Amino acid sequence: MSKVPIRLSVNGEAHDLLVEPRKLLSDTLREDLHLTGTHIGCEHGVCGACTVWVDGRPARACLLFAVQIEGHEVTTIEAIAAEGRLSPFQQAMHEEHGLQCGFCTPGIVMTCEAWLREEPTIEETEIRELLSGNLCRCTGYQNIVRAVLKAARRARGNAA
């Protein structure tokens, strides 16, 4: 099928692109917009490495076609560290050694950042359930959980 013109809004910037309808959002972000922080681990919606936000809600970019996202706002990992400074959660991940090879990390950051903005409870079982949609083969998850707990406690401390 021939390509169609779409306008995508990604990280607050509008982009005019020409894509086939079947082109996945994950591929469009990486190839057409050169935003390679969103990683591809499975293309069947299981591993979570491709997690981005659509209208501020986490979504698997490999299960979206770029054409259907016209009119919506996409946020990728590249938007999280503002002006080169790590977000509180990214900083907590760094302090707690919550990453090793880093391939699943952007997806985990996008999942956790969204949740941390919603008055999160500081309860390990819920955190592990939150993380269950992001597969990691390196860390065994323990340090990621510690990072989420740390960031949640700090956010609570700030809010208090």
CB of 19 to other proteins, least distance (A): 10
Q: CA 128 → CA 6, 13, 76, 88, 149, distances in Å? A: 38, 33, 22, 19, 11
> Could you say whether residue 47 binds other proteins (CB under 8 A)?
yes
> CA 74, CA 93: separation in Å to the nearest integer?
23
Q: Determine, following the binding rule CB under 8 A, whether residue 10 of this chain makes contact with other proteins.
A: no
Least gap, CB of 122 to other proteins (angstroms)? 15
28 binds other proteins (CB under 8 A): no
Structural contact between residues 4 and 67, judged by C-beta atoms closer than 8 angstroms: yes
Q: Strand, helix or coil at 110? A: helix
How many residues interact with other proteins (rule CB under 8 A)? 79
Of the candidates 7, 18, 117, 140, which one interacts with other proteins according to CB under 8 A? 140
Stretch that binds other proteins, among 8-16, 123-131, 149-157 (CB under 8 A): 123-131
Structure token pair of residue 81: 């560290």
137 is a contact residue toward other proteins (CB under 8 A): yes
Interacting residues with other proteins between 63 and 122 (CB under 8 A): 63-65, 67-68, 76-78, 80-81, 84, 86, 90, 93-95, 97, 99-106, 109, 111, 115
Q: Which two tokens stand for residue 154?
A: 């700090």
Sheet strands (E) in 31-110: 51-54, 57-60, 73-75
How far is the C-alpha of 91 from the C-alpha of 150, rounded, in Å?
10
- Nearer Cβ to other proteins, position 54 or 122? 54
